[in-house]
């Protein structure tokens, strides 16, 4: 556990680790020595040997001074280690998360990742800055006292040293069931966090359908699960703590009983017996403190394991060939591509498709057929399971990630905006862009119209996930971001499907400018979007079942002809009023 915690300390603070451990060890040994020195000091005082008592007192004062200095240093170094780890591991986790395949995030809630990055890191900081010193002292001090007592009465020293592994074994047995209970509590807490966030952001929907208070079953279920997990953690930890506390008290009673019996039998002088009883109490104190923080220590151990598990997830790393591999153009080739998510089901199977440079290819098909997945594979959001995706003749797996991302501008239906200003959200497309370039991209995407209506203009904060803007406005900002990036390949996924006619017209104008002269792969359900594509690929159950232009595919029976017929029928439907005053739809 301690070794795994130290691996999280950044390189510039690694040199503090041996200093911290040394200071903590010296602090523990000095404490033990001060406790043991009580015996000759008390013996001298009881025997009225003031001269000897003064010498022992001076020695004890020196040892206490050493303990004070070492204690101060270990506290200071522990704090510096904790703060350094907080900075280092936070950056390390951030860099690691940004390099993971997007497929890894599938099935994981934002709340569970956040708890690992925030709550677990905080537990580790507490461990390094405070708990580690308690753990080391809880071992060093009792051993030091036991060894020191050996020089006074070897029998008592042996009992002390033998009792230490017994208490350690009991503590380990007591903590066996803690980890699984803590993992359940961690998962339930993450679920509660996710449901609370959902509850606060989805109030319009929840209120419209009366799913508030106890009727919000998802939140209520998460809270109940969290309560059960909390009870389970208590049930897993309390018996062990109680057992350990009982064993500690039994050891204390055995030691006191032994000293009393030996003093009664005359084997020990009364003064020595009194001093040894005081030392026995100091022998037990660090062990008792260790028992008091055992729950926190186990929690920190679980946190350390979870952070390491996150850091051990394989990254989507740059290929060693990435520096040398340069595409000859912006064409895209899907060559026998197969891919499936974590459940093992293949979403796309043996897909082969050529997208020549500077052309537009539309991908159509029923929901769940793998259309969006193909777009994400083109941007290497996931590594393929089989086959290859090539850009300009180069496998995207052989391209440096930065070079690949510079080639691609994705514009998806679900736009994510950061809780920053409009200008900052657009500048993400190209951080080094000039103000004029940014304003021009915003003008083409009609974001300037939005800015003019807002009281703070370009400095308007869009809110969490862009909540202060409408869906169409968020899409305009997304297009402005892609325009500013000006990548040669554009991936469009249902970019206008959820927009009203006005916003759709504005967004389509921006998309035309964005895609001018670019290689475009577009996923859409609207005929107006796909009809003018250079080629259309029909995807069904992860396989391309047909390919051609709009006229070619419409002229022959098949999936696309059925698709066109369905759209024609849907376009003819309208709502009318029946003679009974009831609204009905009819062709």
The reply to whether 291 and 435 lie within a common domain is: no
572: CATH: 3.40.50.300
Measured CA to CA, the distance from residue 365 to residue 377 in angstroms comes to: 17
Q: How far is CA 469 from the centre of its chain?
A: 28
pLDDT at 553: 82
Those residues with Cβ within 8 angstroms of residue 181's Cβ, 6 or more apart along the chain or in another chain: 229, 232, 233, 235, 236, 237
Instruction: pLDDT band for 17, please (50, 70, 90 cuts).
Output: confident
Q: Of the ranges 42-46, 311-315, 462-466, which one carries the lowest mean pLDDT score?
A: 462-466
User: Are 256 and 114 in a shared domain?
Assistant: yes
- Of 257, 281, 311, at which residue does a domain stop? 311
Q: Which has more pLDDT, 251 or 343?
A: 251
User: Structurally, how many domains does the chain consist of?
Assistant: 2
Out of 279, 311, 343, a domain closes at 311
Give the range of the structural domain holding residue 548, as residue numbers without chain letter: 332-577
If asked whether residues 265 and 402 sit together in one domain, one would say no
Q: What pLDDT sits at residue 330?
A: 85
Are 68 and 198 contained in the same domain?
yes
In a shared domain, residues 344 and 270: no
Does the pLDDT at position 69 exceed 90? yes
Residue 376 domain-assigned (yes or no): yes
Give domain status of residue 516, yes or no.
yes
- Please write down the HEC assignment for all residues of 108-141: CCHHHHHHHHHHHHHHHHHHHHHHHHHHHHHHHH
Res. 82: pLDDT tops 70: yes
- Among 74-78, 127-131, 399-403, 431-435, the range scoring the smallest mean pLDDT is 399-403
Task: Specify if 316 maps to a domain.
Answer: no
The pLDDT-based confidence of 323 (bands split at 50, 70, 90) is: very low
Q: Are residues 527 and 444 in the same domain?
A: yes
Query: Which pLDDT band holds residue 308 (cuts at 50, 70, 90)?
Result: confident
In a domain, 327, yes or no: no
Q: Is residue 317 assigned to a domain?
A: no
Within-domain flag for 567: yes
Are 30 and 68 in a shared domain? yes
Q: Are 403 and 299 part of one and the same domain?
A: no
Residue 586 lies in a domain: no
> 127-136, 275-284, 450-459, 465-474 — which is least confidently predicted?
465-474
Residues 364 and 445 in one domain: yes
Q: Are residues 365 and 297 in the same domain?
A: no
Residue-wise pLDDT for 325-377, tens only, equals 577 888 889 888 888 876 667 888 888 888 888 888 888 888 778 888 888 88
Lowest mean pLDDT among 45-59, 398-412, 488-502: 488-502
The domain that holds 106 is classified in CATH as: 1.20.1560.10
Secondary structure, 3-state, 449-487: HHHHHCCCHHHCECCHHHCCCCHHHHHHHHHHHHHHHCC
Same domain, 43 and 114: yes
- Asked whether residue 120 is assigned to any structural domain, the reply reads yes
Last residue of one domain, picked from the residues 280, 311, 342: 311
pLDDT tier at 62 (50, 70, 90 boundaries)? very high
Domain match, 306 and 351 both: no
587 by DSSP, 3-state: which? coil
Mean local confidence (pLDDT), 443-469: 80
Helix or strand (DSSP H, E) at 285 = helix 270-292
Q: How confident is the model at residue 300 (pLDDT cuts 50, 70, 90)?
A: confident
């Amino acid at each position: 556990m301690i070794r795994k915690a130290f691996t999280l300390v950044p390189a510039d603070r690694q040199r503090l680790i041996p200093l911290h451990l040394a200071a903590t060890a010296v602090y523990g040994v000095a404490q033990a020595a001060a406790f043991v020195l009580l015996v000759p000091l008390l013996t001298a005082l009881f025997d009225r040997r003031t001269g000897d008592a003064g010498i022992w007192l001076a020695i004890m004062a020196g040892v206490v001074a050493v303990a004070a200095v070492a204690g101060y240093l270990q506290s200071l170094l522990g704090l510096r280690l904790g703060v350094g780890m907080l900075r280092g591991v936070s950056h390390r986790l951030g860099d690691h998360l940004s390099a993971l395949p997007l497929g890894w995030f599938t099935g994981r809630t934002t709340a569970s990742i956040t708890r690992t990055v925030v709550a677990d890191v905080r537990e580790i900081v507490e461990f390094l800055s405070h708990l580690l010193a308690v753990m080391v002292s809880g071992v060093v001090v009792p051993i030091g006292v036991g060894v020191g007592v050996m020089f006074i009465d070897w029998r008592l020293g042996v009992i002390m040293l033998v009792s230490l592994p017994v208490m350690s074994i009991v503590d380990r047995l007591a903590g066996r069931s803690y980890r699984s209970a803590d993992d359940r509590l961690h998962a339930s807490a993450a679920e509660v966090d996710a449901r609370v966030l959902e509850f606060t952001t989805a109030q319009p929907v929840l209120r419209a359908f009366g799913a508030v208070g106890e009727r919000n079953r998802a939140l209520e279920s998460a809270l109940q699960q969290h309560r059960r997990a909390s009870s389970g953690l208590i049930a897993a930890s309390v018996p062990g703590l109680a057992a350990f506390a009982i064993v500690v008290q039994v050891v204390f009673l055995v030691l006191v009983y032994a000293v009393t019996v030996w003093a009664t039998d005359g084997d020990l002088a009364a003064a020595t017996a009194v001093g040894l009883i005081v030392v026995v109490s100091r022998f037990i104190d660090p062990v008792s403190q260790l028992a008091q923080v055992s729950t926190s220590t186990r929690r920190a151990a679980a946190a350390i394991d979870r952070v390491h598990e996150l850091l051990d997830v394989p990254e989507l790393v740059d290929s060693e060939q990435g520096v040398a591999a340069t595409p000859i153009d912006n064409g895209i080739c899907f060559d026998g591509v197969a891919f499936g998510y974590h459940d093992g089901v293949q979403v796309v199977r043996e897909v082969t498709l050529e997208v020549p440079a500077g052309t537009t290819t539309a991908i159509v098909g029923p929901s769940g057929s793998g259309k969006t997945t193909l777009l994400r594979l083109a941007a290497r959001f996931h590594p393929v399971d089989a086959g290859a995706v090539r850009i300009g003749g180069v496998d995207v797996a052989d391209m440096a990630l930065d070079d690949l991302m510079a080639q691609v501008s994705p514009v998806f239906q679900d736009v994510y905006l950061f809780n920053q200003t409009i200008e900052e959200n657009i500048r993400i497309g190209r951080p080094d862009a000039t103000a004029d370039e940014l304003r021009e991209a915003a003008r083409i995407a009609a974001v300037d119209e939005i800015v003019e209506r807002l009281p703070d203009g370009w400095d308007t904060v869009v809110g969490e996930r862009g909540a202060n803007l409408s869906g169409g406005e968020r899409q305009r900002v997304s297009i402005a971001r892609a325009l500013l990036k000006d990548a040669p390949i554009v991936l469009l996924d249902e970019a206008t499907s959820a927009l009203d006619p006005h916003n759709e017209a504005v967004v389509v104008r921006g998309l035309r400018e964005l895609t001018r002269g670019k290689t475009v792969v577009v996923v859409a359900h609207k005929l107006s979007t796909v009809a003018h594509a250079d080629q259309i690929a029909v995807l069904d159950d992860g396989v391309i079942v047909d390919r051609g232009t709009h006229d070619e595919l419409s002229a022959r029976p098949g999936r696309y002809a059925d698709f066109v017929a369905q759209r024609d029928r849907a376009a003819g439907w309208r709502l009318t009023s029946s003679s009974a005053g009831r609204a009905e739809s009819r062709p």
